[in-house]
Structure 1
Amino acid sequence: MIQKILTSTQSSTNVEVIVVDGGSIDGTLEFVQSLGIQVLSAPKGRACQMNMGATAATGDILLFLHSDTRLPPHFDMMIRAALNPLQSCRKIPIAGAFALQIDAPLRSLRLIERGVSLRSHFLQMPYGDQAIFLKAEIFHQFGGFPKLPIMEDFELIRRLKCRGYIAIIPVPVVTSARRWLKQGVLKTTLINQIVTLGYLLGISPQKLVFWYYHQSQLSLRQLFKSVPKLISSINFLKQ
Structure 2
Amino acid sequence: MTEAAISLIIPCYRDEACLAALLASLRQLPSATVADLQIIVVDGASNPACRELCQQYDALWLAAAPCRGEQLRLGAAQAANPLLWFLHADAQLEGDPLPALRAALNSGATGAYFAFRFAGPGCWQGRLIERLTNWRTRCGIPYGDQGLFVRAAAYQQAGQHSPWPLFEEVELIRGLRRQGALVQLKQGLRVDPRRWQRDGWWWRSLRNRLFALAHRLGVPASVLARRYASAASGRKHK
TM band (smaller chain): 0.7 to 0.9
**1:108 and 2:125 aligned:** yes
- Rate the CA distance shift 1:83–1:69 in 2: closer, same or farther, 3 A: same
Summarize deviations over 1:84-115 as a string: whole Å, max 9, x none: 13xxxxxx421110112212422201111111
Distance in 1 (CA, whole Å) between partners of 2:234 and 2:43 is: 29
Q: Which amino acid aligns with 2:92?
A: R
1:187-229 Cα offsets, whole Å, 9 max, x none, are 101110011000111111121111111112557xxxxxxxxxx
Look up the match of 1:130. Answer: 146
Q: 1:115 to 1:26 in 2, by over 3 A?
A: farther
- State which of 184, 187, 197 in structure 1 corresponds to 2:203: 187
Is the contact between residue 8 and residue 72 of structure 1 (CA under 8 Å) also seen in structure 2? no
Other-structure match for 1:234: none
Q: Bigger shift: 101-110 or 57-66?
A: 101-110
What is the rounded CA distance, in whole Å, between the counterparts of 2:109 and 2:149 in structure 1?
A: 11
Aligned partners of 1:96, 1:154: CA distance in 2, in Å?
15
Give the letter aligned to residue 21 of structure 2: K
TM-score (ref. length: structure 1) = 0.82
Amino acid at match of 1:195: F
Q: Give matches, 1:1-239, under 5 Å.
A: 1-10=18-27, 11=29, 12-13=32-33, 14-25=36-47, 27-85=49-107, 92-104=108-120, 105-121=122-138, 123-218=139-234
Q: Deviation of residue 151 (structure 1)? A: 0.2
Structure 1: give runs of 5+ residues left out of the alignment: 86-91, 220-239
Question: Mind listing any 5+ residue stretches in structure 2 that lack a counterpart?
Answer: 1-17
Question: What percentage of residue pairs aligned between the two structures are identical?
Answer: 31
Q: Is the 8 A contact 1:70 1:173 kept in 2?
A: yes
SS in 2 for 1:101: coil
Query: 1:101, 1:172 within 8 Å by CA — same for their partners in 2?
Result: no
Q: Once the 2 structures are TM-superposed, how far is the Cα of residue 184 of structure 1 from its aligned partner?
A: 0.5
Residue 217 and residue 34 in structure 1: after superposition, are their counterparts in 2 closer, same or farther (change >3 A)? Answer: closer
TM-score, normalised relative to structure 2: 0.83
- How far residue 32 of structure 1 moved from its aligned partner, in angstroms, is 2.0
Instruction: Check whether the contact 2:159–2:175 (CA below 8 A) recurs between aligned residues.
Output: no
Q: Which runs of 4+ in 1 moved over 6 A?
A: none
Is contact 2:119-2:193 (8 Å) kept? yes
Q: Provide the C-alpha distance between the structure 1 equivalents of 2:226 and 2:143, rounded to a whole number of angstroms.
A: 20
Three-state SS of the structure 2 residue aligned to 1:114 is helix
Q: CA deviation at 1:31?
A: 2.0
Partner amino acid for 1:57?
A: A
